[in-house]
Chains A and B, each alone.
Chain A
Amino acid sequence: MSIEDRKVKLVLGFAADRQEVELTIPDEEPTPWDLESKFSVVGGKHARVDALAKVTGRAKYTHDINLPGMLFGGFARCPHAAAEITSVDAAEALLVPGVKAAIPMTQDRVRYAGQPVCALAATTRQALAAGIAKVQAVYKVLPHAARIDQAMADAAPLVHRNQQSNLSGSGQPRNAETVAAELEKSAKVVRATARTQVQTHASMETHSSVAKWDGDKLTLWTSTQATFGVRSQVADALRIPEANITVICDFMGGGFGSKFGAGYFTAIAARLAQECGAPVKIALDRREEHTDTGNRPDSIQEMALGVSTDGKLGAYSVKIHGTPGIGRGAGARNPMIYDFPREMRAVAQVEVATNAGPQAAMRAPGHPQGSFALETIMDLAAEAIGMDPLEFRRINDSNPVRLQQYSDGAKRIGWEQRRKNGSATGRFRRGMGVGSSTWGGLGGPQAEVDCKIFRDGSVQVRNGAQDIGTGAKTVMAVVVAEELGLPLTKVSAFMGNTSDPIGPASGGSTTAPSIAPAARQAAYLAGRELKALVAKHLGVNADKLLMKAGRISTAEGKGLAFEEACRLIQSGEISARGKRRSNFRTYRDGVAGVQFAEVEVDCEYGLVRVVRIVALQDAGIIINRLQAESQVNGGVIQGLAYALMEERVMDRQRGHQLNADFEAYKVPGMKDMPEIECVLYDIANGGNNTSVCGIGEPTCIPTASAIAGAIHNAIGARVLSLPMTADKVLAALAQRESGK
């Protein structure tokens, strides 16, 4: 402990589970907020700081950047799911009036339908389309395996030339023998195979970049979740210094995990711009967005669960097959929300390569798949031993937050009115189900924030990462306003320009918990400088000064209004940089969530209507309640889509996506949404000086599971495959009836 360090006592947890901890923190850190903190701005319902720009149409997204002389870039794409490229010739394309440049993509083989083979730039989008049509590519078409069943079949065509099989992954998983032996001994063993589909991100703004050169300096506007990542990837691809690149993303229309990387199109836009001596915009169309920007991998999960007669979980084994397309990483995550002894689970992961666009992280990667399987086997086990599924979860879950959520949620959904599985009769049958989630979202270093206080009393906060719509900008502003005792309107927040301090990629729900603590520290340090000026001016001890309600004063009221104090600033501004430290002790190592669903099944047509979702979620201390609620609603609706609607369909013969649009790929609309009751928990989780945790991802994890449980309860049969469309519901019903 250096002499500058100080000891602080904090209360972590929540009302039902308080934990007192003592910490040593360095001088430049503010005392972390905890359960006892009283807030005036934090936790309120605030309009986003950039709401005005969004509702007036002034907000500029990458799609909206139109520069003088700008050209439009795009791609000629291969129509075959697997082929050898004999030649790609753009000579004729270059003769089309308006076409300015063509860059063939160097490769000798294409492995999915829609893979780009040549990039073009033209003066208008019409000229671009005409040019693309004139690119002459000669292919030797090969057999393909665009679907998981095709890729797993005996003698399936090989997706990757250099591999012996389309299947790769763990052989015998860890603990396999222990688990097998334990299953043998279990009072009851339940087995089932769950299937989930490929889902696409379908952000409303498609992937897009605009590249503009000034000499050797490159400016990129791009719709991204990682401004700094784009900077380094493009520097790498073009072999130019990062120092020469500025990446700008003022506003972006959703990413959900698909916009982490620069994407091939960003570097190509820069190369086309260089070749043409003019700015180039590449904005993918809706088909390209579905087929070539990532997706959530599908899964086939074969499970066995052992359970004792009194409902305690024994051993669990699961073998997972999943398709990353031609990419990598298709794992379904089974984070073991419930209390399994660690050595009592055996998880085998097998990746199945397919001739389809590569997967990309999608909102809680792996978790919704894993959740659907785990909650399915949980419900089946509860049914097998004749136990209420909620009770079954309660006795197998020791997380204090979720235990609270189980009882709060049960009250809200009216769980005591839930009937036994399959006891409902008539054409319309109702049922209820439940699912749980866990997520990290603690954030960490790699975030720095500048806070400036100006002589006129205004305050600015800046970070170079991006606000992907979640409201990160507003989070920074709220935290700074709280720290300086100001109303939110006094703070301007800026994000989305790599000229500003480093920030995280927006993924893993880590943006807010990474930047909020840095923002708070920056405000704390800037405020401390201002306090010193006031102390000197008034002849009081700076340590005695508080910043509250727009004033800087002692407890007795001796002080100045914030604006008067700012006039003491000699140099024009006070500027301080906050740096995100590593996490200190936390209450829990992640956030907890539970969702309840009530559905009504039309047994004549197999249609499922979700009547109500009760979503209970913790996200540390809530910074802006309005945004947090919106994140919950948004997560739930994507989960509902996963449960009932969305599915990428690949053509067996030609290997194309058959529904690469919004007509056949059904994203939920306003009429599909159920009543959503959102219950937020403020948990002082510690870890950083604001106790903020992420909320973006966990809310989409258990929705499909809860809906599946509710359908099961309504019709007395389990639908084991997502999406739970009418045909599958009717098949499950028919099977139940024939089994009788």
Chain B
Amino acid sequence: METALKLNVNGEVRQVLAPANHSLLEVLRERCGLTGTKHGCELGECGACTVLLDGEPVLACLVLAVECEDRRVETVEGLSNGAALHPLQQAFADLGAAQCGYCTPGMLMTAKALLDSNPLASEMEVREALAGNLCRCTGYWKIVEAVQWAGRMSTGDMVPPQCLRERNAAGGCSHG
């Protein structure tokens, strides 16, 4: 039995048909074609499926889609403004915070919720906020760096990391 659902995803109202027992994760990925949100465990243990619900990070694998009607769902697909990347996306790309990239969408959404309320988050605050998002590749440091950089970029404190990268690249390679 499928239910008609009205979801507001990334500012766009979508009508979808889905069984009432389907999670938000399944509906986003399989009914809305939004596969940016990742499936890591479906147990609420890895954070790969994190999306924002009315601005708060939730694990989409633990939320039923029917609970989300008339609420604001934000996913990684809605993070950029057209071609203009969100500072978090820019910083993650340029500072190498995405390795295989599988944990990245969940990291980005959790970080967005943090920066929206606390753009100048300290290292410990970033670590605390992202403690539920697992990453098997990066060793986390570049993610912390990128989140802090993005926050400071949005407040005008920092230059986009692109500039940093070009400076480094211009320095070339030194031996030894």
Contacts and interface: CB of A to CB of B under 8 A. Distances in A.
A667 B103 CA distance: 14
Contacts of B172: 38-40, 43-44
Nearest to A16: B176
A630 B138 CA distance: 5
Contact of B19 (A48, A60, A126, A630): A126
Given A35-B175, A286-B42, A633-B141, A204 B134 contact: yes
Given A55-B92, A669-B132, A662 B46 contact: yes
A92 interface: no
Contacts of B142: 626, 629-630, 633
B48 A204 contact: yes
Given A204-B136, A662-B43, A63 B99 contact: no
B42 A252 contact: no
B92 to A, nearest CB: 5
B35 A673 contact: no
Contact of B76 (A51, A56, A661, A663): A56
B134 A669 contact: yes
Interface stretch (A181-189, A345-353, A676-684): A676-684
B75 interface: yes
Contacts of B100: 204-205, 251-254, 468-469
A670 interface: yes
B43 A14 contact: no
Interface in B91-131: 92-96, 98-105, 108, 126-128, 130-131
Contacts of B102: 61, 203-205, 253-254, 469
Contact of B139 (A51, A66, A637): A637
A645 to B, nearest CB: 12
B92 A58 contact: no
B136 A256 contact: yes
Contacts of A101: none
Interface residues on A, range: 35 or more
Given A47-B165, A254-B100, A202 B136 contact: yes
Contacts of B103: 204, 253
Interface in B15-47: 19, 21, 26, 29-30, 33-43, 45-46
Nearest to A699: B139
A46 B165 contact: yes
B contacts with A: majority SS: loop
Interface in A568-627: 621-622, 625-627
B35 A60 contact: yes
A670 B130 contact: yes
Contacts of B140: 633, 637, 669-670, 673
Given A45-B165, A126-B19, A204-B48, A55 B98 contact: yes
B148 interface: no
How many of chain B's residues touch chain A, expressed as a range? 35 or more
Contacts of B155: none
Nearest to B105: A57
Among A39, A52, A55, A684, the one with the most B-chain Cβ atoms within 10 Å of its Cβ is: A55
A662 B45 contact: yes
Nearest to B21: A126
A733 interface: no
A55 B104 contact: yes
Nearest to B165: A45
A260 B137 CA distance: 17
B70 to A, nearest CB: 24
Contacts of A634: 99, 136-139
A55 B89 contact: yes
Given A50-B101, A204-B40, A254-B136, 14 more contacts: A45-B96, A55-B88, A55-B98, A56-B85, A204-B103, A251-B100, A254-B100, A286-B43, A627-B96, A634-B136, A661-B43, A662-B134, A673-B139, A682-B175
Sort A-B residue pairs by CB-CB distance and give the 10 closest, nearest first.
A57-B36, A43-B173, A469-B100, A633-B139, A253-B102, A54-B101, A44-B169, A15-B176, A64-B35, A51-B93
27 contacts: A40-B169, A44-B168, A45-B169, A47-B93, A50-B101, A55-B92, A56-B80, A57-B36, A57-B77, A61-B102, A66-B30, A66-B33, A126-B21, A203-B136, A204-B48, A204-B103, A253-B101, A285-B42, A286-B42, A469-B101, A627-B99, A633-B139, A633-B142, A637-B139, A670-B126, A670-B130, A682-B173
Interface of A: 14-16, 35, 38-48, 50-61, 63-64, 66, 124-126, 202-206, 251-254, 256, 283, 285-286, 468-471, 488, 621-622, 625-627, 629-630, 632-638, 661-663, 667, 669-671, 673, 676, 681-682, 684
